[in-house]
């Protein structure tokens, strides 16, 4: 054995051992294999959701908040104004500002709200727009916040190995829960915005319909008031409505904690919450000013209950209603994990049952084995001893492929298994290309050694071309694909690269070993 | 030595009219089928809506019974299809193709509720998928773009390694394969979903391989046989690589056939695309790509091969 062959064999052995270690661990075991090769959702079963965050919700909330803050500042600085109105998600108008106070107003805007562009539309009116860059930042932040809120909720639910990440377009979130069998429950927990608002009710009671509520005000709702539906039902079972003050309330942002408690009146499950220092102060002021009125506890724009305020409340409150123990637990969890900054829309929802996943694994393995067997039988029959070369090269190819997948933490999906099968095909393709060339060279009268040498040198160029062309399309597939298809592209790319190694380097070394043992004039079995 | 294709001398290029006729026929058949049907049978990922796979415990109700249950539960306009062997009791339910968005989102819930009411405990939800209506259109567009980009990338690469006409011919042949495969999908009412696009893109890479192997031999022969005309060089190159082309395509065909037969029904459309695509791809690398090179060269008024110096020589790999 020449030194060159020995060195090559060492490299091959090192690669093989490294690959086996990567996917099977040490000592190699099936348990390690299961741990190291991540199965895609389509194989192990579970739920996948793609949610689109409606980031415009967050922008609208930001605009509303700025309006509220301005209203307070105008009052503090004694700036008279007629109206503050949101005109679009990211715009609002200020009208009736006393021209003498114009500079004071502009100063507030530059000092306190520098993220807004102000333009004057009349001597006493202004159009205010969120700076585009700021808007983009807010949108990004709302997605980030949504991701962190969802993570909190999912972790609290105890789902194992969830995946939560941004996907594709910036406002999309991909969530995967392996092994979850009740998609509806998980989804309801994730999706509820859990926006808690505490607002003062105007008047002292509820209305049976929106129209009857409007009638109180001659059909037109005055500014600063809104009608919100309640989950409470009147005696005849119909829905009830309350008129509440739009502003001056507090929101879930001020929430510190939430936990399940009991309604002291009837012992039913309820949710108690506490507020942070800032929220407690605000809440204290509001409740003090409105003792005797009703306080609407609003969750996701539905009034849960509207108890009467008997005294000033600072940092504690309780939400009572018709909750079951599970409802109360879920709600407390959602409130604790924070409100979502924006509502979300389901764009994709995939559920794979465990049975289907197991079926897919079984089918994938069967197909792989059949493909492998068919190819091996043919190659060994057609190329005789050289077929053994091809067989070794092909098995090494699979070993390296699995090793690389484990090392990269790539996910094996059902299409990925198809990728593995195709890799078998492509690997054999390379070997056939080389073998046919060797036969051809030998036909022209070359001896075996020189035929092998010429063929490998010549075919190497072809292989580079074919593999690079295939890599180009596999790369675009990777860029385009999502989920299972991406898994397929990954296997394909790794398979192409490892095949370059096995078909050229490994197969050639094997030929050289055979040739080294023969006289120069002897032929080889091909 | 077992040899299947020994000393083959077929005048492939001379039969180019016949081959073009076959290709055009295949394309036209596909196109007529598509026009007649109006559109492809898109999978749920491309058109939006809900699909659910369920398996009933023995004895499974018949389709009409399931349909009645679904309609009773409010899931009207649903399509039900039996999957696999009737004994298995597997069905696929599709819902919400053109429904209002809000209803479509609830598709899974509606179907589950309807089935629970009628067959509670007697069936299993194997898996379901919902895709929002806006997503489908985006995906379709992305799929087309990905395919075009891949074709463009390959065109540039081959043009860089050979001559631009070789790149153009190879890409044209592959594009032809894609169109023929799509046509056959339409003809057989096969569903086009994301994995089928994955198969098409794989075929783009795979079928261009065969073409490259032939062109690579043409490049080599042009170097050695400066006197011969392009037509005979193209023919000889195809014949010299024919055994390799048929063998490898045959072997890859075997592997995807295994996938088609044993890979289960989720991957079935993917495997079908591969099975068809490999056959068409092999055909086109022999019968479409090389004749195109000849036709172009003749149109440029050169009966003989383009000057070999014009053929970019690859950097030869040094023997170690």
Asked if pLDDT for residue A235 goes beyond 70, the answer is no
Mutation target vs B (from A425, A443, A486; most B CBs, 10 A cutoff): A425
CB contact under 8 A, A461 and B216: yes
Give the residue with greater pLDDT, A238 vs B320. Answer: A238
Calculate mean pLDDT across residues A132-142: 89
Residues 6+ apart with CB under 8 A from A164: A147, A150, A151, A154, A173, A174, A175
Which residues from chain B sit within 8 angstroms of residue A355, using beta carbons?
Answer: 55, 124, 126
> How buried is residue B311: exposed, middle or buried, by Cβ count under 10 Å (0-12/13-18/19+)?
middle
Least CB-CB distance to B262: which of A50, A370, A437?
A370
Backbone Cα Rg of chain B: 25
Q: Is A497 at the interface with chain B, CB within 8 A?
A: no
Q: How far apart are CA B57 and CA B121, in angstroms?
A: 9
DSSP assignment of A377-396, as one string? HHHHHHHHHHHHHHHHHHHH
For A414, the closest chain B residue by CA position comes to B267
Nearest to A422 among B2, B202, B261 (CB): B202
Q: In this model, does residue A84 exceed pLDDT 90? A: no
Compute the nearest-CA separation of A168 from chain B (Å).
11
pLDDT at B142: 85
Any A CB within 8 A of B102 CB: no
Cα distance between residue A198 and residue A305, in whole Å:
10
**Per-residue DSSP letter, A294:** B
Instruction: Determine the pLDDT at residue B309.
Output: 41
Alpha helices in A409-506 (DSSP H): 414-443, 448-480, 483-500
Which residue does chain A place closest to B204, by CA atoms? Answer: A473
Query: Does position A447 have pLDDT exceeding 80, yes or no?
Result: yes
Q: What confidence score (pLDDT) does residue A138 get? A: 86
Question: Would you state the pLDDT for residue B310?
Answer: 44
Instruction: Report residue A74's pLDDT band, with 50, 70 and 90 as the boundaries.
Output: confident
pLDDT (tens digit per residue) in A352-405: 988 888 989 999 999 999 999 999 999 999 998 889 989 999 999 999 999 999
The 3-class secondary structure across A27-75, one letter per residue, is: CCCHHHHHHHCEECHHHHCEEEEEEEECHHHHHHHHHHHHHHHHHHHHH
Q: Out of A116-125, A153-162, A414-423, which region has the weakest mean confidence (pLDDT)?
A: A153-162
> A95 or B58, which is more confident?
A95
- CB contact under 8 Å between B127 and A50, yes or no, is no
Q: Which residues of A touch B212 (CB under 8 A)?
A: 462, 465-466, 469
Task: Provide the shortest C-alpha distance from residue A14 to chain B (in Å).
Answer: 20
Sorted by where each starts, the structural domains of chain A and their CATH numbers stand as 3-45+353-516 (1.20.1640.10), 55-135 (3.30.1240), 195-336 (3.30.1360.200)
Contacts of B202 in chain A (CB under 8 A): 422, 473-474, 477, 488, 492
- Residues B73-91 have a mean pLDDT of 82
What's the confidence (pLDDT) of residue B291?
93
Highest mean pLDDT range out of A247-256, A304-313, B231-240? Answer: B231-240
Angle formed at CA A248 by CA A313 and CA A287, multiple of 5 degrees: 20
Cβ separation A466–B212 shorter than 8 A: yes
B89, B201, B207, B257, best to mutate vs chain A, most A CBs in 10 Å: B201
Restricting to B residues 250-289, those with a Cβ less than 8 Å away from any Cβ of A are: 251-252, 254-256, 258-259, 261-264, 266-267, 270-271, 274
Confirm or reject contact between A505 and chain B (CB < 8 A): no
**In this complex, how many residue pairs, one in chain A and one in chain B, have their CB atoms less than 8 Å apart?**
232
Instruction: Report yes or no: B53 at the A interface, CB cutoff 8 Å.
Output: yes
- Res A234: pLDDT: 65
Q: DSSP string spanning A330-353?
A: HHHHHHHT---SS-EEEEEEEEE-
What's the pLDDT score for residue A520? Answer: 63
Average pLDDT of the segment spanning A215-221: 82
Residues of B in contact with A183 (CB under 8 A): 108, 128
**Contact flag A370-B261 (C-beta cutoff 8 Å):** yes
Contact list, B251 vs chain A (CB under 8 Å):
374-375, 378-379, 425, 428-429, 432
Q: Which residue is closest to B269 within chain A, CA to CA? A: A415
Pairing relationship of beta strands B41-42 and B191-192 according to DSSP bridges: parallel
Are A375 and B255 within 8 A, CB to CB?
A: yes
pLDDT tens, A1-40? 688 899 999 999 999 999 999 998 888 888 888 888 888 8
Per-residue pLDDT of B17-64, as tens digits, reads 999 999 999 999 999 999 999 888 888 888 888 888 899 987 888 888
Q: What is the mean pLDDT of residues A42-49?
A: 88
Instruction: Output B105 or A437, whichever has higher pLDDT.
Output: A437
State the pLDDT confidence band at A237, using cuts at 50, 70 and 90. Answer: low
Residue A47, strand partner residues: A177, A351
Subunit contact B130:A350, Cβ cutoff 8 A: yes
The predicted complex's ipTM stands at 0.83
Residue B207 has pLDDT above 90, yes or no: no
Residues 6+ apart with CB under 8 A from B233: B218, B221, B222, B225, B305
Report the C-alpha gap between A227 and A244 in whole angstroms: 6
Report the mean per-residue pLDDT for chain A: 86
Contacts of A461 in chain B (CB under 8 A): 216, 314, 316-317
Distance in Å, alpha carbon of A83 to nearest chain B alpha carbon:
36
B209 CB within 8 Å of a chain A CB = yes
Please report residues of B whose CB lies closer than 8 A to that of A414.
264, 266-267
Question: What domains, with CATH codes, occur in chain B?
Answer: 13-41+136-310 (1.20.1640.10), 50-131 (3.30.70.380)
B267 to A415: CB separation less than 8 angstroms, yes or no? yes
Interface membership of A25 toward B (CB under 8 Å): no
Q: Is residue B248 within 8 angstroms of chain A, CB to CB?
A: yes
End-to-end CA distance of chain B: 29
Q: pLDDT > 70: what percent of chain B? A: 90
Cβ–Cβ of B157/A469 closer than 8 Å? yes
| Cα dihedral value A62, A65, A67, A68, nearest 10 | 180
CB A201 within 8 A of CB A296: yes
A484/B194 touch (CB, cutoff 8 Å), yes or no: yes
Judged by average pLDDT, the poorest of A215-219, A427-431, B207-211 is A215-219
Residue A273 pLDDT > 90, yes or no?
no
Residue labelled with tokens 């996917």: A23
Check B264 against A453: CB less than 8 A apart: no
């Amino acid at each position: 054995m020449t030194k060159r062959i020995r060195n090559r064999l060492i490299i091959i052995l090192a690669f093989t051992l490294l690959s086996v270690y990567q996917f099977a661990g040490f000592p190699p075991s099936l348990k390690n294999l299961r741990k190291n090769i991540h199965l895609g959702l389509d194989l192990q079963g579970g739920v996948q959701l793609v949610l689109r965050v409606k980031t415009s919700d967050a922008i609208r909330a930001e605009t509303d908040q700025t309006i509220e803050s301005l209203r307070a500042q105008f009052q503090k600085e004694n700036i008279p104004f007629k109206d503050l109105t949101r005109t679009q998600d990211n715009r609002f108008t200020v009208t009736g500002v006393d021209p003498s106070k114009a500079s004071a107003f502009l100063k507030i805007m530059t000092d306190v709200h520098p993220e807004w562009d102000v333009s004057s539309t009349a001597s006493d009116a202004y159009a205010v727009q969120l700076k585009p860059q700021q808007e983009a930042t807010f949108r990004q932040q709302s997605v980030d916040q949504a991701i962190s809120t969802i993570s909190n909720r999912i972790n609290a639910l105890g789902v194992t190995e969830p995946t939560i990440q941004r996907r594709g377009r910036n406002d999309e979130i991909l969530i995967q829960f392996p092994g979850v069998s009740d998609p509806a429950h998980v989804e309801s927990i994730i999706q509820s915005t859990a926006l808690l608002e505490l607002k003062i009710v105007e008047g002292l009671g509820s209305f049976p319909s929106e129209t009857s509520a409007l009638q109180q005000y001659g059909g037109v709702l005055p500014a600063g008031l809104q009608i919100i539906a309640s989950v409470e039902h009147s005696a005849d079972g119909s829905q009830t409505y309350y008129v509440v003050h739009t502003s001056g309330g507090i929101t879930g942002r001020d929430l510190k904690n939430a936990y399940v408690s009991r309604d002291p009146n009837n012992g039913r499950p309820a949710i108690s919450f506490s507020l942070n220092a800032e929220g407690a102060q605000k809440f204290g002021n509001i409740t003090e000013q409105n003792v005797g009125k009703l306080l609407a506890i609003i969750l996701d724009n539905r009034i849960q209950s509207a108890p009467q305020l008997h005294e000033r409340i600072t940092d504690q409150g309780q939400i009572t209603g018709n909750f079951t123990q599970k409802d109360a637990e879920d709600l407390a969890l959602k409130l604790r994990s924070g409100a979502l900054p924006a509502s979300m829309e389901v764009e994709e929802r995939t559920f794979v049952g465990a049975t289907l996943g197991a079926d897919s694994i079984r089918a994938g393995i069967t197909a792989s084995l059949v493909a492998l067997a068919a190819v091996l039988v043919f190659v060994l029959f057609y190329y005789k001893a050289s077929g053994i070369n091809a067989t070794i090269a092909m098995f090494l190819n699979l070993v390296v492929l699995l090793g690389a997948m484990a090392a990269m933490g790539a996910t094996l999906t059902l299409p990925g298994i198809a990728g593995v099968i195709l890799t078998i095909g492509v690997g054999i393709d390379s070997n056939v290309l080389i073998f046919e060339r060797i036969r051809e060279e030998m036909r022209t009268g070359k001896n075996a050694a020189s035929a092998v040498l010429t063929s490998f040198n010549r075919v190497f160029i072809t292989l580079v071309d074919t593999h690079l062309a295939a890599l180009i399309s596999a790369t675009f597939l990777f860029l385009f694909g999502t989920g299972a298809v991406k898994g397929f592209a990954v296997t394909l790319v790794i398979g192409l690269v490892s095949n370059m190694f096995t078909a050229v380097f490994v197969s050639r070394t094997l030929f050289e070993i055979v040739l080294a043992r023969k006289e120069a004039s002897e032929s080889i079995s091909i | 030595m077992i040899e299947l294709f020994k000393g083959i001398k077929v005048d492939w290029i001379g039969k180019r009219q016949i081959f073009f006729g076959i290709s055009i026929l295949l394309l036209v058949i596909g196109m007529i089928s598509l026009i007649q049907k109006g559109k492809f049978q898109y999978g749920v990922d491309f058109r939006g809506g809900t699909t659910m796979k369920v398996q009933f415990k023995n004895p499974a109700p018949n389709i009409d019974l399931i349909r009645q249950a679904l309609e009773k539960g409010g899931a009207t306009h649903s399509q039900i299809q039996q999957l696999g062997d009737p004994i298995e009791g597997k069905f696929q339910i599709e819902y919400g193709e053109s429904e209002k968005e809000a209803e479509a989102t609830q598709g899974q819930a509606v179907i589950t509720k309807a089935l629970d009411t009628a067959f509670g405990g007697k069936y299993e939800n194997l898996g379901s998928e919902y895709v929002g209506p806006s997503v489908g259109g985006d995906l379709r567009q992305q799929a087309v773009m990905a395919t075009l980009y891949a074709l463009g990338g390959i065109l540039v690469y081959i043009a860089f390694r050979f001559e631009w006409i070789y790149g153009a011919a190879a890409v044209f042949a592959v594009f032809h394969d894609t169109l023929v495969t799509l046509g056959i999908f339409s003809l057989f009412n096969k569903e086009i979903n994301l994995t089928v696009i994955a198969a098409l893109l794989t075929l783009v890479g795979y079928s261009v391989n065969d073409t490259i192997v032939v062109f690579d031999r043409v490049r080599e022969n042009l170097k050695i046989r400066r006197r011969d005309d392009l037509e005979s060089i193209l023919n000889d190159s195809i014949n010299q690589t024919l055994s390799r082309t048929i063998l490898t395509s045959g072997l890859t065909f075997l592997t995807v056939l295994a996938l088609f037969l044993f890979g289960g029904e989720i991957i079935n459309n993917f495997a079908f695309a591969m099975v068809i695509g490999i056959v068409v791809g092999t055909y086109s690398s022999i019968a479409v790509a090389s004749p195109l090179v000849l036709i172009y060269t003749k149109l440029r008024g050169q009966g003989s091969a383009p000057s070999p110096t014009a053929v970019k020589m690859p950097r030869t790999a040094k023997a170690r």
